[in-house]
Amino acid sequence: MMLVVTLALVPDRSEEVLARLRAEVAPWLRRLPGFVTSRWLLGTDHDRCTVLLELADPDVVPVLVAALDPGTHDTARSWWCERIEEVTDLGLALRPSIML
């Protein structure tokens, strides 16, 4: 299963947020049961981080939702989860081994 997790960042605190995501959130995700891989993408304005998360076990999604609490915006925090969405990989990306 593939999820897109959208995190909102306070831009003027983005370095602090990125350090925390690297030190705490990413390792926590890697320890989740059924974790396969993740890819972290930072918006050019440093106000959004999109995480593409692949999980082998859909039973972990409620744990993820409970921990990240999507849709809740706490102005005292430097980041929050805006949304978690299940998506389907259409497999349309070219693979280097078959590129012409």
What would the pLDDT profile of 46-91 be if each residue is shown by its tens digit?
A: 999 999 999 999 999 999 999 999 998 887 889 999 999 999 988 8
How remote is the C-alpha of 26 from its chain's centroid?
8
Q: Which pTM was predicted?
A: 0.86
What would the pLDDT profile of 22-55 be if each residue is shown by its tens digit?
A: 999 999 999 999 999 999 999 999 999 999 999 9
H-assigned helices in the chain: 14-20, 26-31, 61-68
